[in-house]
Structure 1
Amino acid sequence: MNNDLLKNWLEKQSSLVLDGAMATELEKRGVDTDNELWSAMALVHDPQAITDVHRSYFDAGANIAITDSYQANVPAFLKAGLTAEQSGKMIFDSVKLAQKARNDYAETLEDSVRQATPLLIAGSIGPYGAYLADGSEYTGDYELSADEYKGFHRARMQLLEEAGIDLFAFETQPNFEETKALADLLTTEFTGISAWLSFSVTNKAELCDGTPLKDAVDYFNQYPNIVAIGVNCTAMDNIEGLVKVIHDATDKPIVVYPNNGDTYDPKTKTWQTNPHAVPFSELVPKWQAAGASLIGGCCRTTPDDIQEVAETVRK
């Protein structure tokens, strides 16, 4: 992929819309995500549901689909009883399912609209902490060497690239050392493809491992193939302030996709609905004014939320 693809689209449109939650929508379709594979279990048991979720987000106005590979990595599949070959196929298929949804959606558009509408596939790379399945993506409390991080992520990145993603999404990343290893791996072994980097943060503008967000963002200015930087999987209320911190530290496009306003307890792995959550239609203009240009939703967000984001962005 041309590393300027995202930049070129953002020059034509001031903001692009990401999709929303995968697991939430899979659960509505009867997929059991209460396991160590989480939403990746659908790759094994109900791939059509994944395509249907991706299609629902394109229909809602999303420009970018994020593959169902956040928790999909070879060690996790092996632990679940799949062979190495089956594990690789699951990761490869996560791209093909998103591409099918994109292609089916594109066929509903008139030629002129299709050519003017960015429809991209971002290959999700969750952190090592997601593989641990103990809430570590919200603490960053784990430690491997740079080579060990690269060894963990390499096979999944190779499979996603081979399947034809447009860019990587290094997302919900809580651990600064891991993100450095990912950027180095991208630069040395995946030279034809770019990535956005989205951190998992506390509400104090720090990565979950305690690294100041400003310092982390500044570090990745040296990587031209990290084409956007931001945060995801945090409260909507935190976004405006975090975008301002990021904007002060980089000229790269800023990506944000928060949760929907409900609150999560990582110990009990349960959500509490927040009836007082401020709607996206009120918050998105503030995020754009602060500097965000790639906007979507993370946990608990729905196609209705993404439609609200898309309609707000396109006003």
Structure 2
Amino acid sequence: MAHLTEMLAAGPIVLDGGLGTLLESRGHDLSSSLWSARLLAEQPDEVRAAHAEFAAAGAQVATTASYQVSYDGLGAAGFDDAGVDALLQRSIRLAREAGAPLVAASVGPFGAARADGSEYTGDYGVGVAELRAWHRRRLHVLADAGPDLLAVETVPSPAEVEAMCAEIEGLGVPVWVSLSAASTGFDADSLAAALRGAASAEGVVAVGVNCCPPESVLSALAEVEVDIPFVAYPNSGERWIAADRRWAGDGGAVVGLVDVWLDAGVRLVGGCCRTTPADIADVAARVAQRR
């Protein structure tokens, strides 16, 4: 916590970008339901190398490849619970070895493990108690593995925010909570209320949004008054065309909005889907000018 506090006091912190995007650009097929978890198991050196590319570009935080690692998802692929624990622990070790000053253990939403698009709606058909139970073991294993903080990210609904904030109490690890501003599970009022609620949870050191269009960041945060920093790491600006299973449009929109976000109180800034090491290098250069 001291290291994170010192870095925040020195100025905005640069996050990494789209780990899956980079792994795909390195020639890996991530189309299976295991996504990057398959590479954690089969080609860990590639995961480490991808983290290192972002660190070399100026990322001060390596966000682990644990986003989609779950006991039920990997259980269906033949892993027992101990094997899943080992992959979660490996994700932190690989990120640490890549050289960024901080490691954030990624904790994706329930829908990410389903790989059915429900991570963008929060329409799971399960309640808060079930979500708490589902997240519990993974949160504890990641926290015990020694990250600098947990990245609870792409949360798509008020119910899952409530569940995850309840489960992080007592973990003893700083947490940022980032909501999906593109999720249909929120409207403007419920998104703002969820951010305020998360900001008051024990251990939470930043709240914000990710995995959304860059232009939606400011509107998501504009009406939210909290006493902790904001985190923002949207997508590149390209749009996912689900019917064609492809991205379309122009990327590179993140760096042009960094100053606006910093003026609004963002202190942890980077990119999500389709953002590359080159994008993060541009973000890092812009942040350096602001320090």
Q: 1:160 to 1:268 in 2, by over 3 A?
A: farther
Name the CA shift for 1:209/1:238 in 2 (closer, same or farther; >3 Å): closer
User: Are the counterparts in 2 of residues 141 and 209 from structure 1 also a CA contact under 8 Å?
Assistant: no
- 1:60: which partner in 2? 57
User: 2:208 — aligned with what?
Assistant: 230
2: CA distance, partners of 1:257 / 1:58 = 16
Any conservation in 1 of the 2:4–2:148 contact (CA below 8 Å)?
no
TM-score for the superposition, normalised by structure 1: 0.86
The alpha-carbon distance between structure 1 residues 227 and 314, as it changes in their structure 2 partners (threshold 3 A), is same
Structure 2 residue aligned with 1:263, among 226, 239, 243?
239
Give unpaired runs (5+ residues) of structure 1: 106-118
Where does structure 1 differ by over 6 angstroms across 4 or more consecutive aligned residues?
Answer: none
Q: Which amino acid counterpart does residue 226 of structure 2 have in structure 1? A: T
CA distance, structure 2, for counterparts of residue 50 and residue 130 of structure 1: 19
Q: Give the drift of 1:91.
A: 1.3
| In 2: Cα distance, 1:302 partner to 1:93 partner | 23
- 1:6 and 1:266 mapped to 2: Cα distance? 38
AA paired with 1:199? L
Matched-pair contact (CA < 8 Å) for 1:201–1:208: no
Question: Deviation of residue 80 (structure 1)?
Answer: 1.5
- Retained in 2: the 8 A contact 1:170–1:196? yes
Shift of 1:168: 0.6
State how many pairs are aligned: 288
- Work out whether 1:280 is the aligned partner of 2:254: yes
Cα RMSD over matched residues?
A: 1.8
Answer yes or no: is the 8 Å Cα contact 2:236–2:252 preserved in 1. no
1:184 aligns with 2:166: yes
From 58, 67, 71, the counterpart of 1:70 = 67
Partner of residue 8 from structure 2, selected from 4, 7, 10: 10
How high is the sequence identity, in percent, across the aligned residues?
36
Question: 2: distance between equivalents of 1:257 and 1:301?
Answer: 9
Conserved 8 A contact 2:168-2:202: no
Query: Secondary structure in 1 aligned to 2:260?
Result: helix
Greater shift in the superposed pair: 88-97 or 155-164: 155-164
Give the partner amino acid of 1:198: S
Separation in 2, partners of 1:133, 1:99: 27
2:220 maps to 242
Task: Note if 1:29 corresponds to 2:11.
Answer: no
Give the conservation status (yes or no) of the 8 Å contact 2:62–2:104: yes
TM-score normalised by L of structure 2: 0.93
